[in-house]
Structure 1
């Protein structure tokens, strides 16, 4: 279905990972080139010469951004939170979301060029520079920063009120003390606010300087206060940003563990305990993660990258979000296949010793996990090493992976909805 395919590609649901990655990176590059182009066009040497190439590039870029905006509106009713509103209602609600408004801003320059006179070129340049905001859609770190600012908006507003109060008080005191000595530079409190702002921010332009001993004393106090006042909002945002990153990483890790059939029936608190045992491991492309014959005493979650599993007559490729080795985690039998990193990988590793220690401390958790192991062992008549038959049946060859991401393994589908 064309509409569903567009949704998978534009929203990167994971069903068409390669195509979605190409589109995402192409749009990122186009955004950056557009911003650079908008800045370069203002140079005098470009203003004096014809800019047919720049104009053609801008028309092409505007067409792409406008097409992207219209396609995202078209597939808006496929978003799970918006489905219940129907096609029209979903599109209206999507159009009012911040991401959609930014997409519209990115498409506006093409429309404005066609309807506005040449004298309004400044407006077009501003909108073209605002395309930089589209990077937030593709940058998890930038989205986390915006979320951190939004979550601490009340604290930031409070710190802003304190800074404004100090600025106003400093401007008032300097006006009262220095007005007679510098009637031209400190003619009023609003005029003194410029000095207060420059001093609190520790910039000190030097155009207004206290000349009396009392004024210099006030200026010194305001300078010292400025260091603490500027650090206040910075500290608030930094701590909120660190908390947001930690929360996001924990949610991603928790969801990866929860998808494992061995753990999917556990309680949320028990899954969280297991997630705490994971350790990160970065592996370069071509590195052997585990060789054939090695004792399988750990399982792996792929947080980024892709691994290759060499079987006697085929090769299996597992990508981001997949896992392997969960059945061998407790049995610790020799692996029957060599597993190596096909691309640079970031893995989360769960050691059998760590899990056994947790199970020893929590007998109820141990009984639940062991019961699941016995049930799965009885249900699966065939196994290949630590990869169960269902996993192998669902894994696709490298050629298939170049067109579309493999479907979720049957074991991973158990009790879990497929991505929207």
Structure 2
């Protein structure tokens, strides 16, 4: 039992899930620093003077870093069977499947330089340098933007392949034309189409080294046309990647927002299209560390989703901390009473805010949606959903808090009525 709890704690720290946020972030920041340090050292080690003067120290740092990356890889394999998609495969097959995952392969690449240095200290210098530089790929684990860029490139691989074929065809055609035009005039520089391909590549990419240039009038005309075509050809894959990256970011943000809204009990019975309509009502709000999000005594007329950061909710007997993906203030959409707790930003936060007035307008437009939400609200009140401060049971469970029956003695009164606007506080 103790081994299982240790394994679970290790999984939460390595994968940044659960309540061990501080330890997980500390580990990820340390590994990011170590990756960047290793890349810098791998570059410096190729300088002969640096390698001669600090070779011993660099070797010690590289061995230590390699040992840490190897331990990280082994520990990630150890907890691989706790990943939700892999649990059903059992301890052995879940680890084998995880080992074949791109993230695990990159982790293995990060650990391989240590093995090469230990067993092939002299023969594998080039391989070790390359593998050390490939540790840069490990940053993708800690960078959502980099992962989105990789996904965008993979998603548009057919379009990128098509544009590459077009560029290759233009290069070949340009090289052939220039060979035919300039071969008699410059037999040394345009000895073959292969030499013409070199000129075509440097021209289309707008590099233009100047070591091979056309001298005949017809050759200059061909070169001018190729240079103008180069701008459009280079912009083609750039435009594909840029649009795909923007679409990937938008899609990821929408999916994250949609999934957060779908977790709220008040909306869990809605259709996907209805949840999407509610998601469109969310407004972004940034709060600096220590800033007050909601003051005790204010009218609770909005709920919050935490897209980044962490908030602290000070209750009567304890402080509840909620992190990314959590929500609070659901009861504000049901029972617009005074807030009984002050909510502050424990760290810099990016919040998504759903105001009751905005939701009310949507419900006024869609009677079916309004009926579903109001039925759920009445069922929650009729079922006697208990409240601690202004948090419902589901919201407390996000933070791992389970209040006693005496503490959760207050039941919300339903005041969020589609047809009655008179009870709303004008001070909101």
Distance 1:228 1:288, change over 3 A: same
Report if aligned partners of 1:282, 1:346 keep a CA contact under 8 Å in 2. Answer: yes
CA-to-aligned-CA distance 1:51-94 (integer Å, 9 cap, x gap): 22211111111111111111222222222333333322222222
In the TM superposition, 1:106-117 aligns within 5 A as 106-117=110-121
In the TM superposition, 1:11-410 aligns within 5 A as 11-380=15-384, 382-384=386-388, 386-388=390-392, 391-392=395-396, 394=397, 406-407=399-400
* Alpha-carbon distance between aligned partners in 2 of 1:161 and 1:138, rounded to the nearest angstrom: 34
Report if aligned partners of 2:315, 2:389 keep a CA contact under 8 Å in 1. Answer: no
* Alpha-carbon distance between aligned partners in 1 of 2:314 and 2:211, rounded to the nearest angstrom: 73
* Alpha-carbon distance between aligned partners in 2 of 1:106 and 1:382, rounded to the nearest angstrom: 50
CA shift, 1:99, in A, is: 1.3
* Alpha-carbon distance between aligned partners in 1 of 2:216 and 2:253, rounded to the nearest angstrom: 56
Report if aligned partners of 1:302, 1:319 keep a CA contact under 8 Å in 2. Answer: yes
CA shift, 1:313, in A, is: 4.5
Q: TM-score, normalised by structure 2?
A: 0.89
CA shift, 1:314, in A, is: 3.8
Distance 1:300 1:37, change over 3 A: same
RMSD: 1.9
Q: TM-score, normalised by structure 1?
A: 0.90
My pick for the range that moved more, 259-268 or 306-315, is 306-315
* Alpha-carbon distance between aligned partners in 2 of 1:352 and 1:338, rounded to the nearest angstrom: 19
CA shift, 1:310, in A, is: 3.2
CA-to-aligned-CA distance 1:270-292 (integer Å, 9 cap, x gap): 11111111011001122222222
**Number of residues of Structure 1 aligned to a counterpart in Structure 2:** 399
Structure 1: gaps of 5 or more residues? 396-405, 411-420
Distance 1:381 1:77, change over 3 A: closer
Distance 1:21 1:363, change over 3 A: same
Q: Which has the higher contact order (CA 8 A, sep 6+)?
A: 1
CA shift, 1:119, in A, is: 4.2
